Structure 1
Amino acid sequence: MSRPALPLALAVLLVPLSARAAEPLALQCERLFESRSGKLLPARTVVVRDGRVAEVLEGRVEVPGTRTVDLAGHTCLPGWTDLHVHLGSQSNPQSYSEGFRLDPVDFAYRSVGFAEKTLLAGFTSVRDLGGEIAPHLRDAINQGLVKGPRIFAAGKSIATTGGHADPSNGYNDHLSHLIGPPGPTEGVINSVDDARQAVRQRYKDGSDVIKITATGGVLSYAKSGDAPQFTVDEVKAIVETARDYGYKVAAHAHGTEGMKRAVLGGVTSIEHGTYMSDEVMRLMKQHGTWYVPTLYAGRFVAEKAKVDGYFPEVVRPKAARIGAQIQDTAAKAYRSGVKIAFGTDMGVGPHGDNAREFVYMVEAGIPAAEALQAATVRAAEVLGVDDQGVIEAGKRADIVAVPGDPVADIQRVLEVALVMKDGVLFKQP
């Protein structure tokens, strides 16, 4: 390369992805999943211009002024949304010591790879429910500096003292006294006033959604995995303050009483829901509360609980007991008519394996078409957005394609052949 050409070449390489013009494309799909109805449509051509779906044409046709992407034998679907991920981490046998040995920048570098794996698996949007790295990763992706899904970030989860998201759980006396008890700034509350301050701090930090840990959790360094950890008044204070900023509230919850308080307090969604009772299901239907089962995480922790040394001994019995229950709960909730949306709790398991949740949902008795709706149009409802989750003119050009018919064979979702986000192809046959 000649010396004068080198600066120009470098300049092209350094242009953020978001600044590069997306070329007009015509995706010739063998069939198209219409997410509003849950039906498969015969051959369609999806025309994409300027990051949006321009039109959807019947048949596989040539469109002047566009580049054709031949998807013969493939089904096109709206880009999937995983409503429960943690892109800043990934479970491993050293996870508990890494929090003391690694710096935030180490986790940030890891998150870049996790984000790209998630996108290439077909997930064009995610809701990151807990992690201080996520808002910064979101911004880097939006600026086109790294590849990844669109992120709706909670930032630091809100907990009570000793609760599932208390960052000081497991500290010895020396560290506890050195650091001092965490408060609302760190996402730990013990009153209605604290609750309001914690939400306002999340606003200050740039969060998009609020996450609370309404009960104990499986992987926290604490004995109980299901005890309630907020009062109804505290939950209401969080929800009301969140509403001031246009936020929705997701509630991690395994135990029945904690779920009941979260639903009565007005949260948008219950995550995990392991010991969901008939009463809680009735309340969720009455209040319109969504359920995000995270079956993958339940299966993963139950399996790893059998491995000596993978989890600390205080965690291991919780993982074995709670993890094995979630799929049965999801089956019962579906039969009861509770609204279900898609989420994996990925970060508990390996990022990029998110689509396996579809398989587990179908195993739980949820029809494949409804599982696909849970990750598309239903997920958009949970997020409160109306420009994604469907393939329609004027909507975001977030599209995935898989070989064959995923409604007839849900395993096809594990073979993603094309990923488009905002009209840009990140993967294609």
Structure 2
Amino acid sequence: MYGVESNLELALAFGVTTELDMFMGPPEATRALCELAAERADLADLRSAGLLASAPGGHPGVGMPDLPTVAGPEQADAFVAARQAEGAHFIKIMLDDGVNHGMSLPSLAPATVTALADAARRRSLLSVAHVSAMWSARLALDSGVDILTHLPLEAPLDEAFVRRAADGGRVVIPTLAILELSAPQSSPATGVGRSWADDPRIADHLPDHARAAIAEGREGLCVEHPVPEHRFGHALSSVARLHRAGVPVLAGTDANHRPGRACPVVHGASLHAELALLVEAGLTPAQALTAATSAPAAHFGLGDRGVIAPGRRADLVLVAGDPTEDITATRSIEAVWRGGVRFDREAHRKRVAS
């Protein structure tokens, strides 16, 4: 995420009380923002991977020369130890050869990915892999990574992959909201994700920069280097297969808006698009709600939240309507509480409108 307080405030305004960030730096700023978010009831709480693991000269380090990299398996343990010392809550592993960005870049070797996952496990940290294509999804599975983020767009995951993921206890965060924007405009898409910002229940709380970001996505500016075989429908099919096989599917959007970002996804608001897309993929509304609440809390070790029960954090969202019947009812937010403190949504709406 782009580490600014306003993103955490925007997330909370849309009912997201905790954000799980997959890459942010520098470490001092990440730690400071996490500490601030822990203290302030007007911001979403924050957990972060901090700096991610990538190959020298690979994505995204090719444009970030100061980013630490991992040249081989012998460096994996030291990398994970350094991230833990900086306060990382989990370890993010980048598996991307740059093809989706119009480049050909080096990526982490299989032995290095395995060593990173093993090093994280020894320190009781989850490993989370960015998978951009079928090869990287298979590599993450082969290497023992705990959680996969994103899904391939060139083809649906096959049944053998899905069975292995289920048998291995893996977890998938498909991030359909950004995948729909990342597929070529000619790709069959539901339109569910593309139309969500027109809903006045969303639009009234969007600041100008968020509206501009959404417009960029609709104009196809997310697809800088179209890949002909990429189809959003492939991702929907993969989610359906994973869900049927019992693989935990978590709601996440890759919210990342920052100036100049090629494919911006707005904090908080985009989760409501993700929920609708999960239902489009075959989850029931109640299952989609679980994917955004108790399931991520359980799989990321946040045992103090995620369900409404005595002794748990009072992170609550009150909506008009029944989202177990109509998932878009999550947009009809009446009130949000974070740690028992009510967030002033009306004041937020007036600020973004001024």
- Equivalence for 1:151: 46
How much does 1:330 deviate?
Answer: 1.5
Amino acid at match of 2:332: E
Specify which of 12, 32, 56 is matched with residue 161 of structure 1: 56
Q: Tell me the distance in 2 between the aligned counterparts of 1:420 and 1:261.
A: 40
Contact kept? 2:92, 2:129, Cα under 8 Å: yes
Specify which of 96, 109, 117 is matched with residue 231 of structure 1: 109
Specify which of 111, 115, 118 is matched with residue 11 of structure 2: 118
Q: Tell me the distance in 1 between the aligned counterparts of 2:281 and 2:112.
A: 34
Q: Which has the higher helix share?
A: 2
Specify which of 344, 352, 358 is matched with residue 268 of structure 2: 352
Deviations 1:237-270 (A, max 9, x none): 1122222332111111132232222123222211
Contact kept? 1:163, 1:229, Cα under 8 Å: yes
Q: Tell me the distance in 1 between the aligned counterparts of 2:99 and 2:254.
A: 12
Amino acid at match of 2:33: L
Contact kept? 2:54, 2:61, Cα under 8 Å: yes
Contact kept? 2:313, 2:340, Cα under 8 Å: yes
Q: Tell me the distance in 2 between the aligned counterparts of 1:407 and 1:195.
A: 44
- Equivalence for 2:95: 214
Q: For 1:312-327, what aligned pairs fall within 5 Å after superposition?
A: 315-318=224-227, 321=230, 325-327=234-236
Contact kept? 2:236, 2:281, Cα under 8 Å: yes
Please give the TM-score of this superposition, normalised by the length of structure 2: 0.77
How much does 1:140 deviate?
Answer: 1.5
Q: Tell me the distance in 1 between the aligned counterparts of 2:39 and 2:229.
A: 41
Q: For 1:150-189, what aligned pairs fall within 5 Å after superposition?
A: 150-168=45-63, 186-189=67-70
Contact kept? 2:128, 2:147, Cα under 8 Å: yes
SS of residue paired to 1:160: coil
Q: Tell me the distance in 2 between the aligned counterparts of 1:233 and 1:368.
A: 40
Matched, 1:371 2:269: no
Deviations 1:14-56 (A, max 9, x none): xxxxxxxxxxxxxxxxxxxxxxxxxxxxxxxxxxxxxxxxxxx
Q: Tell me the distance in 2 between the aligned counterparts of 1:387 and 1:401.
A: 19
Contact kept? 2:102, 2:225, Cα under 8 Å: no
Contact kept? 1:305, 1:320, Cα under 8 Å: no
Runs (5+) with no aligned partner, structure 2: 186-215, 257-263, 347-354
Amino acid at match of 1:238: L
Please give the TM-score of this superposition, normalised by the length of structure 1: 0.64
Amino acid at match of 1:187: P
- Equivalence for 2:299: 382
Specify which of 37, 60, 67 is matched with residue 141 of structure 1: 37
Contact kept? 2:54, 2:60, Cα under 8 Å: yes
Contact kept? 2:100, 2:226, Cα under 8 Å: no
Matched, 1:292 2:173: yes
Amino acid at match of 1:279: A
- Equivalence for 2:203: none
Q: Taking structure 1 as reference, are residues 287 and 217 closer, same or farther at Cα in structure 2, changes over 3 Å only?
A: farther
Amino acid at match of 1:288: G
SS of residue paired to 2:243: helix
Specify which of 270, 280, 296 is matched with residue 161 of structure 2: 280
Matched, 1:195 2:195: no
Q: Tell me the distance in 1 between the aligned counterparts of 2:101 and 2:315.
A: 35
Q: Tell me the distance in 2 between the aligned counterparts of 1:127 and 1:358.
A: 16
Q: Tell me the distance in 1 between the aligned counterparts of 2:39 and 2:218.
A: 42
Contact kept? 2:181, 2:218, Cα under 8 Å: no
Amino acid at match of 2:17: T
- Equivalence for 1:419: 336
SS of residue paired to 2:93: strand
- Equivalence for 1:37: none
Contact kept? 2:21, 2:48, Cα under 8 Å: yes
CA RMSD, aligned part only? 2.7
Specify which of 113, 124, 127 is matched with residue 246 of structure 1: 124
Q: Tell me the distance in 2 between the aligned counterparts of 1:142 and 1:235.
A: 31
Deviations 1:77-117 (A, max 9, x none): xxxxxxxxx2x1xxxxxxxxxxxxxxxxxxx5xx2111101
Contact kept? 2:318, 2:333, Cα under 8 Å: yes
- Equivalence for 2:312: 395
Q: Tell me the distance in 1 between the aligned counterparts of 2:228 and 2:150.
A: 13
Deviations 1:101-138 (A, max 9, x none): xxxxxxx5xx2111101011111111100111543321
Contact kept? 2:181, 2:222, Cα under 8 Å: no
Contact kept? 2:159, 2:241, Cα under 8 Å: no
Contact kept? 1:417, 1:427, Cα under 8 Å: no
Q: Which has the higher strand share?
A: 1
Q: Tell me the distance in 1 between the aligned counterparts of 2:63 and 2:242.
A: 34
Contact kept? 2:14, 2:268, Cα under 8 Å: yes
SS of residue paired to 1:417: strand
Amino acid at match of 1:215: D
Contact kept? 1:331, 1:365, Cα under 8 Å: yes
Contact kept? 2:98, 2:104, Cα under 8 Å: no
Specify which of 255, 263, 271 is matched with residue 141 of structure 2: 263
Q: Tell me the distance in 2 between the aligned counterparts of 1:220 and 1:208.
A: 28
How much does 1:376 deviate?
Answer: 1.1
Q: Taking structure 1 as reference, are residues 168 and 323 closer, same or farther at Cα in structure 2, changes over 3 Å only?
A: farther
Count residues in correspondence: 301
Deviations 1:166-192 (A, max 9, x none): 2437xxxxxxxxx6xx6xxx2321201
Q: Taking structure 1 as reference, are residues 387 and 158 closer, same or farther at Cα in structure 2, changes over 3 Å only?
A: same
